[in-house]
Structure 1
Amino acid sequence: MNLSFDLRALRYFVAVAEHGGFTRAAQTLHVAQSAVSQTIAGLESRLELRLFHRHERRISLTPEGELLLGQARDLLSQAESIELAMREVHGLVKGEVRIGIPSMLGSYYFPPLLMGFKSRHPGIRLTVVEAGTRRLQRMIAEGELDLGVVTEDASTHRLECHRFLREEMVVCVPKDHRFAQRESVTARDVLSEPLVLFQDGYFHREFVDRLATETGQQPQVAFQSNLIPLTKAIVRQGFGITTFLRRVVEEPDLAAVSFEPSAWLDLSLAWNQGAYLSRAERTFVDFVLEHSPRLQH
């Protein structure tokens, strides 16, 4: 068996596997379909393995192809990191940072950081994606994002995480709600009320689900929405209450009430463990960690 193959062959193989066919892979790669077919045939010949089942109108990976797919993705990722590192040696800095931020942080905590970074580094383009922490973890793992904000738990073991914010989770109620005059309320008190919650995959929802598990009490979900202004409007009108990071509740007609005991959330800036960070990405990470104390106030 001849195990020598080039990165181009692996790139073609991954494209065919991900797009489910030679035609779509060729279109994505901007090459002729015949070139893709010949490259895959040559790769199979050198490996002495069948990588794809050829059906009449579709293809699928063989078990050997499935094994190669994971290895090929890793190799291509490493090759991209090496190429980037070599470009930076010659001063060709990557000019973009792709970061994923949950909506609460993107709306209330990160704008000053993003504007401050852009002011200091006008040549670096920032691409900001809003999503729940679970989806952000997947996007980082799949290379769609360079960095993301996550809550640390067992599912982040493959990420390198640097905590930059510790903030209190509070109950958000209208000013005339019976909780508004209390210093604190228990999880059982909160779960007994109609709730306005984010959808699954957001740390806001996971926080409430964790309270439900700890108390053995089923939450009464009146509304589900990832839109913070809509959630606040529902709370103001008295159709439910919710939980937010404390700063999000700082409005005249809403009250922030602590949990008993107090509930705190640790948020971290994360990227793939062992991944090479470009100079632009490292500069952004350093900037966030340097200025993170300002987020606490």
Structure 2
Amino acid sequence: MEFRQLRYALAAIRHGSFRGAAESLGIDQSLVGKSVRTLENRIGITIFERSPRGIRPTEAGKAFLARIAPAMEQIELAQRTAALAGRVDQGTVRIGVIASISTGFLYDLLLRFSKRHASVRLVVSDGSMHENIELVQSRRIDIAFLIGEPAVAGCETLPMWGEDAYIAVSNTHELVQADTVAWEDLAQEHFIVTRNGSGPVVHDFLIRKLSDFASRVEIEPMDVTRDIMLGLVGMGRGISLVGEAATGIHLPGLIFRPIAGAQDSIPYSAIWSKENDNYAFRRLLSFAKIMAGKERRAIAKLLKGAAD
């Protein structure tokens, strides 16, 4: 029993004739008749009575087609859904982030992709490095943008962009008076970071950078979101470290100052499962690769100009 035989039989009962079925399907009338006859021979019943006046379903034929019609509708729906999933203008891309998307590379990427493919649903969630990696490996998200270049089993990792490091302080802090801040200026400061998202990575980054200038680095982890943490910074409850993209966040009393030194750029990478065949995600990845390539070329040009 073939799918097309069932489809032709259902079309024939809908249109009341093999001719009408053939016209609706865009095929030859003889093909409909032969296929239905083959189906009748296969299942051992007569589906249609034939006469010079046309066809009429038998009682057995009516019962048989009534049972298969719902199943055929589901199969055809599944075929249409699968076809739509293979089009870039349909579907969903699930994205994990560890940093702000208020400005910078990731903001530009999602904005440009959304303008080109407005009907693709973008689902963005934040989490820790560990959480995002687990979600990518289990295919619960399509791609994660993380700090560094993590090597993850079963996944591809590609460096994407870098962000200058900034210190977030309150507008009453003495560091506001400086255009740029040096690491040695931060040795005795009280830092606050989140326990989730990029917080653990920021914590380790601060330890590495400040260990040369202080015997003890004062860092307070908090069970709050990044925006709440930055709100506390604006109140003067401590200072924090962020990437350049976070400088697009505007909160009362919050000021950002860059850290001097090109070596303090924070690298970001994309990771995704090697087995992910989500077409909409693959299109987003292509956008990201093109943008990352342009950014790397622009940085290389700047560095070459500085050397000359």
TM-score (normalised: structure 2): 0.56
Amino acid at match of 2:115: S
The CA deviation string for residues 35-81 of structure 1, in whole angstroms up to 9 with x for no partner, is: xxxxxxxxxxxxxxxxxxxxxxxxxxxxxxxxxxxxxxxxxxxxxxx
Q: Distance in 2 between matches of 1:112 and 1:277?
A: 24
The CA deviation string for residues 121-146 of structure 1, in whole angstroms up to 9 with x for no partner, is: 23322222221222101111122111
Per the alignment, residue 219 of structure 2 pairs with: 221
Per the alignment, residue 127 of structure 2 pairs with: 131
Per the alignment, residue 254 of structure 1 pairs with: 255
Q: Answer yes or no: is the 8 Å Cα contact 1:168–1:264 preserved in 2.
A: yes
Per the alignment, residue 285 of structure 1 pairs with: 285
Shift of 1:168: 1.1
User: Closer, same or farther in 2 for the Cα pair 1:208/1:263, shift >3 Å?
Assistant: farther
Matched, 1:113 2:109: yes
Matched, 1:196 2:223: no
Per the alignment, residue 231 of structure 1 pairs with: 229
Shift of 1:154: 5.0
User: Closer, same or farther in 2 for the Cα pair 1:290/1:262, shift >3 Å?
Assistant: same
Matched, 1:208 2:203: yes
User: Closer, same or farther in 2 for the Cα pair 1:154/1:127, shift >3 Å?
Assistant: closer
Q: Distance in 2 between matches of 1:137 and 1:234?
A: 29
Q: Distance in 2 between matches of 1:257 and 1:92?
A: 43
Per the alignment, residue 263 of structure 1 pairs with: 264
Per the alignment, residue 181 of structure 2 pairs with: 184
Structure 1 residue runs of 5 or longer lacking an equivalent are: 1-83
Query: Quick check: which has more Rg, 1 or 2?
Result: 2
Q: Distance in 2 between matches of 1:90 and 1:254?
A: 45
User: Closer, same or farther in 2 for the Cα pair 1:254/1:277, shift >3 Å?
Assistant: same
User: Closer, same or farther in 2 for the Cα pair 1:106/1:140, shift >3 Å?
Assistant: same
**Count of aligned positions:** 208
User: Closer, same or farther in 2 for the Cα pair 1:291/1:211, shift >3 Å?
Assistant: same
Amino acid at match of 1:246: E
Q: Distance in 2 between matches of 1:90 and 1:189?
A: 53
Shift of 1:254: 0.7
User: Closer, same or farther in 2 for the Cα pair 1:91/1:294, shift >3 Å?
Assistant: same
Q: Answer yes or no: is the 8 Å Cα contact 2:181–2:259 preserved in 1.
A: yes
The CA deviation string for residues 8-46 of structure 1, in whole angstroms up to 9 with x for no partner, is: xxxxxxxxxxxxxxxxxxxxxxxxxxxxxxxxxxxxxxx
User: Closer, same or farther in 2 for the Cα pair 1:90/1:126, shift >3 Å?
Assistant: closer
Q: Distance in 2 between matches of 1:152 and 1:159?
A: 15
Q: Say which is worse superposed, 205-214 or 261-270, in terms of deviation.
A: 205-214
Amino acid at match of 1:265: I
Aligned-residue Cα RMSD (Å) equals: 3.5
Q: Distance in 2 between matches of 1:247 and 1:124?
A: 24
Q: Distance in 2 between matches of 1:90 and 1:199?
A: 37
Q: Distance in 2 between matches of 1:191 and 1:157?
A: 37
Shift of 1:193: 1.3
Shift of 1:171: 1.5
Q: Distance in 1 between matches of 2:254 and 2:230?
A: 10
Q: 3-state SS of the aligned residue for 2:201?
A: helix
Q: Answer yes or no: is the 8 Å Cα contact 1:171–1:259 preserved in 2.
A: no
Q: Distance in 2 between matches of 1:106 and 1:270?
A: 17
TM-score (normalised: structure 1): 0.58
Structure 2 residue runs of 5 or longer lacking an equivalent are: 1-78, 300-308
Q: Answer yes or no: is the 8 Å Cα contact 2:149–2:158 preserved in 1.
A: no
User: Closer, same or farther in 2 for the Cα pair 1:173/1:262, shift >3 Å?
Assistant: farther
Q: Distance in 2 between matches of 1:271 and 1:289?
A: 13
Per the alignment, residue 164 of structure 1 pairs with: 160
Q: Answer yes or no: is the 8 Å Cα contact 2:87–2:279 preserved in 1.
A: no
Amino acid at match of 1:168: D
Q: Say which is worse superposed, 93-102 or 132-141, in terms of deviation.
A: 93-102
